Chain A
Amino acid sequence: MNQGPGTIQLRQQGTSEWTIPGPWFSTFVALGEKMMEVAASKDTQNHRMLLVVPRRELVAPAIGFGISRHRFLSQRTYSVELTLDDLDDLPEGTQIRAVWPQRTRDAVFIGLDKKRNPPAILLEIDGVAHPPLGAKNIRFYRIGAPTPQGTKENKNLVSEKGTAQGIKEQFWSQVFPAAAFFSEGTHFERQMETEIIYPDLQAILGTNELTLRDAARFDYLSNDKHPHFVNVFEKSIKFQDLGSLEQDRMDMTDWVVLDGNTAVSRLSPSERLYGRRVLGIVDFANAVNQNPGFQAFLAEAGNLWLHKGQDGFDWTPPPGTYLWSWGAKNES
């Protein structure tokens, strides 16, 4: 994955044929990568970008894919593997992650039972003390990000303890929060199920079956299912009801993406997004909530400075697509 995304083919739900998407798709993938570059600068913390697209189908997942790709290539993660010695020094109450070959659990570290040989690990899972665990076949990680409790299904079988974590495992378990996407549930779910042929990634993951959900590493903000924490998705109608844990997780992401006219019109004015990097995607083809979307987004962006050009980074939008950005710094 050192080059661009290369030759990609897609197959949508309910269809039998693979189709090569036009350059527009890889251009939106590139936008996701550019967004991660922008996020590296502290000057851009309070930042709004309005992306107006001819049609929004597959735009947000492509951006999510670019974000995921950029994060993966960075090789950074908040997940640090712990040895028994490390656990010995770990303060009680620290959130850690226990990884069995097929499942992953987030837990609170209670301590080591050194009366046993080797020492057993004492954890609290879902607020309940777990029977002492031996270290065999389990790997422990310290997570530098609040992740929700609950069982996570490992997309791949984790390699045996004692072997170096493979690149495949790094992909599936990377904890490096990137973006929170808000959209309509059925619309977004359907797009995430789009199958993708992307030979580079398939070679790394050793599978031919890959969806945009996998490639973009989308998980759910309020119903976390996978060990990775890169992109999270939530229905925009749930936005106002997010609990503190979900809000904390959203706040850890570099970007909030409001996908579609309705999400933009409803969520742009939210105080929870003040001072955040927000990308709003408005769709020309859909008349519903189009002007309310523009109005709501521009009302908030109007508090910032409009930047000239494509925000200073080298991104040429696909035909019929427009991007404007606003920041706290006057660049004129």
Chain B
Amino acid sequence: MKIAVLVKQVPGSESPLPMVSSQDWLDESQVAYIMNESDNYALEEALQIREKNNDGEVVIISLGPNRIQKVIREALSKGADRAIHIQTDGSYPTDPLVTASLFSETLKDENFDLIFSGLQSDDLGFGQTGVLLGELLNMSTATLAMSTEIIDNKIKVKRELEAGYFQWVTMSLPASISVQSGCNTPRYPSLKGIMGAKKKEINVITPPVMDQNQSIKKIYAPNSAKETVMVEGSVDQIVEKLVNIFRNEIKIT
């Protein structure tokens, strides 16, 4: 079984997000990057399938500037076999169709049985790259996977639906599956894994330039619609004020 995992590097949830003066992107020099949360689950799902079948290959695919090699190495140290880095110079495209098209151009001759991706990137949050790629490669697709099972030449996926419902969907391979967070317990890299990752291959590819169908005009901070009471002071003062609010304003008896 040959499995690709799309792994994206994104700002960590506690990272500052300062903007460049043209207000159309972040000042990346001040951003602390991590592996996209759901991609970490996607990687774990792929590694477990390879281990269960006792053969096959897990290949990390990532698109972006040089800084993304940090998460590529992290994925390799968790046990992925090799990686393809689609190298862009500035940042990454802000059109998911362009991203997916670059992935499909790169992957079309690799003939993967499975592609795993996260359901949503924590930066741009388009929520569609894995499905776009699957469709471009004429694969079966499924989203919001909570667990997967390989049966013969098919994959059975437990999908999350709205309002607490789930559904099993079975499809033939090749398939592109985007996973929901919480579907497994992602591993940490071992020391041996970290050492071994240094020797693994990262194939760097320069993609063609493509026209975008959508582009970011401006990025800005939201402003609050609601009137919010700020509860301020020392910890003791805050506690006193909160108790007062609970009793006298919200009227908790």
Asked if A and B bind, the verdict is no
Query: Hey, which bits of chain B sit against chain A, CB under 8 A?
Result: none
Query: Hey, which bits of chain A sit against chain B, CB under 8 A?
Result: none
